[in-house]
């Protein structure tokens, strides 16, 4: 199952053969959104005020990372009042493991199109058997999400690309889940850090990756920086995404010096790109 390592080798400048094209749907404005994890500190201090500042930058799509002590209906109402659409909602891995239907129900209640599992704990992904259990849970979640009328996706870090008992977990997720029910939110920073080319991954999986996390990296030390201040070629990535079915992409920085400055710079940078 070493599909990526065995076939592509995936040097960062490589271009593996395309598996076909699935264009971005008509009517999509293909504009950047923002992952609210980036702004967790200011949101904790002033939730509504920070959301308004996000809208003032120019964003109209957000991806949620928790509800900050509010119920989904209240969050949905607040977002609507700011002109913000909750495209996706990241779910807590603990609650997903224990009560998967409940967290998917909450994603629907907040108005999200996607519920997304964004992390797996280190001690629960050490063996192939553990990974297979997670893949089964993810596939079942995709089936439940479809049943209630939303979509389900998995968001990667770097560890999905590290072999476990001879298997690449990213491949295990792709091959062990229904492609119509389980999609991928590809984090281009973590894929790049792991030594994989995001473009090659998208080209190898047309229609499977409708969501991207846009995070930047300084190649000199592999540090995370504001989008536009690093060396990742977002024009190349987003141009490919148009051809492979990417519908939404979200700016993110895990630990910015100033979250609002970071997302503002990212918005300007991405708006100036031609792709």
Kind of pairing, strands 114-117 and 151-155?
Answer: parallel
CATH number of the domain where residue 261 is located: 3.20.20.150
Residue 154 lies in a domain: yes
Which residue is it, tokens 């630990």?
Answer: 255
Task: For the chain, list residues with pLDDT below 70.
Answer: 1-28
Residue 107 lies in a domain: yes
222-244 per-position pLDDT tens digit: 999 999 999 999 999 999 999 99
**What pLDDT sits at residue 27?**
45
Range of the domain at 245: 3-8+47-272
Which residue is it, tokens 């990667």?
Answer: 156
Residue 89 lies in a domain: yes
Residue 112 lies in a domain: yes
Kind plus residue range of the DSSP H or E element containing 251: strand 248-251
Q: What is the pTM of this model?
A: 0.92
Phi-psi region of 269 (alpha: psi -120 to 50; beta: other; left: phi over 0): alpha
Residue 34 lies in a domain: no
Residue 21 lies in a domain: no
User: Are residues 175 and 169 in contact, defined by beta-carbon separation less than 8 angstroms?
Assistant: no
**What pLDDT sits at residue 3?**
54
Rounded to 5°, the CA angle 266-250-142 comes to 170
Residue 159 lies in a domain: yes
137-189 per-position pLDDT tens digit: 999 999 999 999 999 999 999 999 999 999 999 999 999 999 999 999 999 99
Residue 16 lies in a domain: no
Strand partners, 262: none
Structural domains of the chain, count: 1
C-alpha of 219 from chain center: 21
């Amino acid at each position: 199952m070493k599909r990526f390592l065995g076939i592509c080798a995936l040097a960062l400048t490589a271009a593996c053969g395309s598996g076909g094209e699935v264009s971005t749907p008509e009517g999509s404005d293909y504009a950047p959104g923002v992952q609210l994890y980036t702004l967790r500190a200011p949101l904790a201090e002033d939730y509504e005020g920070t959301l308004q500042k996000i809208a003032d930058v120019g964003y109209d799509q957000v991806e949620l990372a928790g509800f900050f002590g509010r119920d989904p209906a209240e969050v949905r109402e607040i977002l609507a009042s700011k002109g913000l659409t909750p495209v996706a909602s990241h779910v807590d891995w603990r609650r997903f493991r224990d009560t998967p239907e409940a967290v998917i129900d909450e994603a629907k209640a907040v108005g999200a199109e996607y519920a997304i599992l964004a992390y797996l704990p280190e001690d629960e992904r050490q063996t192939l058997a553990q990974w297979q259990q997670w893949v089964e849970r993810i596939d079942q979640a995709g089936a439940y999400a479809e049943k209630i009328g939303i979509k389900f996706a998995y968001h990667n870090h770097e560890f999905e690309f590290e072999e476990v008992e001879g298997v690449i977990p990213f491949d295990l997720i792709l091959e062990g889940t229904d492609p119509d029910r389980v999609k991928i939110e590809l984090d281009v920073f973590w894929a790049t850090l792991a030594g994989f080319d995001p473009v090659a991954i998208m080209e190898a999986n047309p229609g499977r990756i409708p969501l991207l996390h846009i995070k930047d990296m300084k190649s000199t030390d592999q540090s995370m920086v504001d989008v536009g201040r690093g060396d990742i070629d977002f024009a190349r990535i987003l141009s490919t995404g148009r051809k492979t079915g990417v519908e939404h992409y979200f700016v993110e920085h895990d630990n910015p010096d100033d979250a609002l400055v970071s997302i503002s710079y990212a918005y300007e940078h991405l708006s100036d790109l031609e792709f």
